[in-house]
A and B are shown apart, each in its own frame.
Chain A
Amino acid sequence: MDALKLDGNAIAGLLQEVFAVEMTTALATCRGCGATDAVGATQVFRGAGIVMRCPHCDNALVTIVKDDTRVWLSFSGVRTLQVTV
């Protein structure tokens, strides 16, 4: 049990800073297992950067690396992202 593991709520501010829309209710479909979950329900790990993982199969959905002026986002583990605009 990883007591330090959080969920997508923990990066709500960071995601809204980048996307300018509320993102924890966005639905992410995992490229690994096909499950769809709200971003707020995904697992969030803090390593050198942030890794958002599928709560069903641990697949890395999104990685986020950030400095003061740039954010690098990889969505390689997400097949589809549904965002309410």
Chain B
Amino acid sequence: MAGAAVLGRLSWLVAEVVDVVPETARVKTIAFDLPSWPGHQAGQHVDVRLTAEDGYQAQRSYSIASAPGDARLELTVERLNDGEVSPYLTDELRPGDKIELRGPVGGYFVWEPSEGGPLLLIAGGSGIVPLMAIIRVRDAAGSDAVTTLLSSSRGWDDVIYRDELEQLEGDGLTVVHTLTRSQPPSWTGYARRVDGEMLAEVGPSPAERPLVYVCGPTPFVEAVAEALVHLGHAPHRIKTERFGPTGG
């Protein structure tokens, strides 16, 4: 049942890195071996804690990219140039390294196949990560929920999970990209920030009562949520998750 309480105090688990996979120039997926992992719902995240030798600690949250039931727990991390944690995760971590993580957390920004659709998923940059977990669990469950992903990226080479999305498209999943800063020469798609006109074209309409999930940097989420409400989407059917611009 979506939103069901997860009981029990969280504790920090030791996770060993088994793989580090580049997604784009600035984004990597890190796969973990974590035998004590209790499972999760698509959309949830983990808190990651790093401790330096002198005891200094830093903690950040990262959305879980892998679908519930996947063999490995995967996080997809964007390297922020002035970040304290993300450059360590993307540039330093190697298989065999250990970090601490706590979770899964978050019961609000989740989707389970039993909830059905239609689904409208709107991603700003690395905000696509929890939405990809939703897309992956939808696929794994054989869900026929009609799903539209509208993904905003700077350029074609910045689109995270680009190839996998292309493969998954069809069977009720539509993927629409908007590239806000640079476009390939033959590009005929959207080339601007997500706005009300784009949302109305990409659909589904408010009359279809979709479940809407918006994730990305705060300004993106706020602008999109406002545009959705302005179009007539019911606020209680819109779920939002804001990433800090320097959260890493």
Tell me whether A12 and B3 are in contact (CB under 8 A). no
> Distance (Å) between the CB of A77 and the closest chain B CB?
19
- Interface residue from A9, A13, A20 paired with B241 (Cβ < 8 Å): A9
B132 CB to closest chain A CB (Å) equals 17
Whether B109 and A24, one on each chain, are in contact in the complex, defined by CB atoms closer than 8 angstroms, is yes
Q: Tell me whether A21 and B6 are in contact in the complex, defined as CB-CB below 8 angstroms, given that A9-B106, A13-B61 are known contacts.
A: yes
Contact A16 B9 (CB under 8 A): yes
The interface size bin for chain B is 20 to 34
- A residues sitting closer than 8 Å to B (CB atoms) are 1-10, 12-13, 16-17, 20-22, 24-25, 38-41, 83-85
Give the residue name and chain of the A residue nearest to B7 (CB). Answer: A21
Distance (whole angstroms) from the CB of A12 to the closest CB of chain B: 4
User: Is B26 on the interface with A (CB-CB < 8 A)?
Assistant: no
**Which A residues touch B9, using CB under 8 A?**
16-17, 20
**Is A9 a contact of B5 with CB atoms below 8 Å?**
no
Distance (whole angstroms) from the CB of B205 to the closest CB of chain A:
23
Please tell me if B239 contacts chain A, counting CB pairs below 8 Å.
yes
Given A9-B45, A84-B3, A84-B4: A39 and B108 within 8 A (CB)?
yes
Q: Given A10-B61, A85-B5, decide whether A4 and B107 contact each other with a Cβ distance below 8 A.
A: no
Residue B200, interface by CB 8 Å: no
Q: What 1/0 mask marks residues of chain B from 80 to 124 whose CB sits below 8 Å from any chain A CB?
A: 000000000000000000000011011111000000000000000
Given contacts A1-B219, A3-B217, contact A12 B106 (CB under 8 A): yes
Report A11 CB to chain B, min CB distance, Å. 9
Selected from B6, B10, B243, B245, the residue in CB contact (under 8 A) with A17 is: B10
Is A20 in contact with B107, judged by CB distance below 8 angstroms? no
A84 cross-chain contacts in B, Cβ below 8 A? 3-5
